[in-house]
Amino acid sequence: FITVKEIWLEVFFLHNWLKRAHSYLKNKIKSPVSVEAASGAALAFKREVIEKIGMLNEKMFWTEDMEFCYRAHLNGIPTIYYPDIKITHHVGESGKKNPSVMISNQVLTKINFFKENHSQASYLLVWLARLLHIVSRFCIFGILSIGNKNAKAKFGAYLFTLKRFLANDY
């Protein structure tokens, strides 16, 4: 599950290093294995799970799958990875329609995850890390956006995210 440490590493562009170091995909898994969380595109569960822990949390769009698996974990319901099942997930396709909403939700919903599922101290550390994340990306993409269409789009997305953050709209 996402940690305060990973949120802070993301501020400094180091989170992917941590993910690669701990990825279960590094191993050649031949039989089902318990994992912390899985992509929502690949989740399948029985009705009893929803009856016990509730639906996916709509306030956490782009983090709702991890949060759902977290609640399942807290209730003793494992998330199992089945290596023989193949699912095609067109990662990011829905976000292409509105990259500002995609980036904004990816950044801000993690604040909600910590607010609802962790201590006040963890929530505040994540809130601060997300503020630094947004401001740093806003500045970086602002500079890079001069003559760069992709950077200009990301600059606009982080401006949108900053406005939502300041309005407490997450």
Assigned token pair, 147: 């003559």
- How do residues 133-147 score in pLDDT, each as one tens digit? 999 999 999 999 999
Least confident of 17-26, 75-84, 133-142: 17-26
Question: Tell me, what's the pLDDT at 91?
Answer: 72
Average pLDDT of the residues in 79-106: 85
Least confident of 10-14, 116-120, 127-131: 10-14
Least confident of 27-31, 78-82, 154-158, 160-164: 27-31
Assigned token pair, 26: 């590094």
Tell if the pTM clears 0.75, that is, is over it: yes
The residue assigned the tokens 């782009």 is 62
Judging by DSSP bridges, how do beta strands 79-81 and 33-35 pair with one another? antiparallel
Query: Residue 149: how many CB atoms within 10 A of its CB?
Result: 7
Q: What do you get for the CA distance between the two ends of the chain, in Å?
A: 20
Question: Tell me, what's the pLDDT at 25?
Answer: 59
Q: Which of 131, 41, 27, 144 is nearest to 86 (CA)?
A: 41
Query: Residue 168: how many CB atoms within 10 A of its CB?
Result: 8
% of the chain beyond a pLDDT of 70: 92
**3-class SS of residue 144:** helix
Q: Tell me the pLDDT band of 66, cut-offs 50, 70 and 90.
A: very high
From residue 121, alpha-carbon distances to 27, 59, 117, 155 in Å are 35, 21, 12, 30
Q: Which of 43, 133, 21 is nearest to 89 (CA)?
A: 43
% of the chain beyond a pLDDT of 90: 71
Query: Residue 158: how many CB atoms within 10 A of its CB?
Result: 25
Q: Which amino acid is at 79?
A: T
* Average pLDDT value over all residues in the chain: 90
Question: Tell me, what's the pLDDT at 22?
Answer: 61
Phi and psi based region of residue 62 (left: phi greater than 0; alpha: psi -120 to 50; beta: remaining): left
Question: Tell me, what's the pLDDT at 80?
Answer: 94
Q: Which of 134, 92, 91, 93 is nearest to 110 (CA)?
A: 134
